[in-house]
Structure 1
Amino acid sequence: MPATSPTIAPERSSQTTRKPYPNYKVIVLNDDFNTFQHVAECLMKYIPNMTSDRAWELTNQVHFEGQAIVWVGPQEQAELYQMQLSRAGLTMAPIEPA
């Protein structure tokens, strides 16, 4: 029977670790003029994969807590969604790192 040599783990060729890009938060603020219906519809229209149930949950959070984080992800997309929601008339906080 042939002798088996011990398994040697390969040495790490580099010690650099890639940092992931930071995520950003898109935050809708409460106001006195947007209806629940309008806020929920905007969230479903502009935020990818937003379900009706989740949109209404976030809309209630905006109303009762004063704000809600409606999306978290890469900066470019966060800026796009923030701009789209703002143009639709929602009151938005500036995007901020998550």
Structure 2
Amino acid sequence: MTSSSSGTSTVLERERSTLRYPQARVIVLDDDINTFEHVVECLCKIVPGMNADRAWALARRIDGEGAAEVWCGPLEQAELYHQLLGAQGLTMAPVERC
């Protein structure tokens, strides 16, 4: 097999792109089932870096506003925290990408 070339060549440059790992929000909804104490206990036990003062503030926000974002970060971790909080009986909004 033979090929003929006109003597010119095309150079393709690689395009670099950096993809960020998807981020997501974990949102707890207000309900008439869970007590403040239970919400605070669950948040402190499951959400990394959560302390009692912040958990109480979030519980009050959940009660007063109907919902509160309790964690935001990588999607995979958000799905885990969402599942664990839901398994404790908290009412959860769907995981929301941010």
Structure 2 partner of 1:35: 35
Q: 1: CA distance between counterparts of 2:97 and 2:32? A: 27
Structure 1 partner of 2:6: none
Q: 2: CA distance between counterparts of 1:54 and 1:62? A: 12
Q: 2: CA distance between counterparts of 1:51 and 1:15? A: 44
Q: 2: CA distance between counterparts of 1:59 and 1:16? A: 44
Where do 5+ consecutive residues of structure 1 fail to align?
A: 1-12
Q: Helix, strand or coil: the match of 1:28?
A: strand
Q: Helix, strand or coil: the match of 1:41?
A: helix
Q: How far 1:24 sits from its partner (Å)?
A: 0.2
The CA RMSD over aligned residues, in Å, is 1.3
Q: How far 1:87 sits from its partner (Å)?
A: 0.5
Structure 2 partner of 1:9: none
The sequence identity of aligned pairs, in percent, is 52
Deviations 1:42-62 (A, max 9, x none): 000000010111101111110
Q: Helix, strand or coil: the match of 1:71?
A: strand
| Pairs aligned (count) | 86
Structure 2 partner of 1:74: 74
Q: Helix, strand or coil: the match of 1:45?
A: helix
Deviations 1:78-98 (A, max 9, x none): 111001000000000110101
Q: TM-score, normalised by structure 2?
A: 0.83
Runs of 4+ with >6 A deviation: none
TM alignment of 1:13-52, pairs within 5 A: 15-52=15-52
Which structure would you say has the larger Rg?
2
Q: How far 1:19 sits from its partner (Å)?
A: 2.1
Q: How far 1:16 sits from its partner (Å)?
A: 1.4
Q: Helix, strand or coil: the match of 1:24?
A: strand
Q: How far 1:30 sits from its partner (Å)?
A: 0.2
